[in-house]
């Protein structure tokens, strides 16, 4: 096996590792977001403006994650 093949295999391995870790983090973030949204829907004491701000923040975070993966 020549050096180019070994380097290519190492790069492919690290790329796959990154994609798996990123996918796992996105899944965990999705579950946390679902829990957070449930909490926001039940928090009657929270002002609507604050709820809107939190929803905007989560949408921006999700968009940033998608851009980071690209």
Give every CB contact of residue 51 below 8 A, 6+ residues apart in sequence: 40, 43
pLDDT of residue 8: 93
pLDDT in tens, 11-69: 999 999 988 998 898 899 889 888 888 887 787 787 888 888 888 888 888 888 888 87
pTM: 0.64
Q: In terms of pLDDT, which residue wins out, 2 or 20?
A: 20
How many Å apart are CA 69 and CA 66, to the nearest integer? 5
> What pLDDT is recorded for position 7?
92
- Report residue 18 as tokens: 């990154």
Per-residue confidence band for 1, with pLDDT thresholds at 50, 70 and 90: low
Q: How far apart are alpha carbons 38 and 51 in whole angstroms?
A: 12
**Closest to 26 measured CA to CA, from 65, 67, 70:** 65
């Amino acid at each position: 096996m020549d050096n180019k093949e070994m380097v290519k295999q190492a790069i492919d391995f690290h790329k796959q590792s990154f994609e798996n870790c990123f996918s796992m983090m996105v899944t965990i973030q999705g579950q946390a977001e679902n829990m957070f949204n449930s909490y926001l829907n039940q928090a009657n004491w929270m002002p609507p403006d604050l709820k809107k701000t939190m929803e905007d923040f989560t949408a921006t975070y999700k968009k940033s994650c998608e851009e980071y993966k690209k």
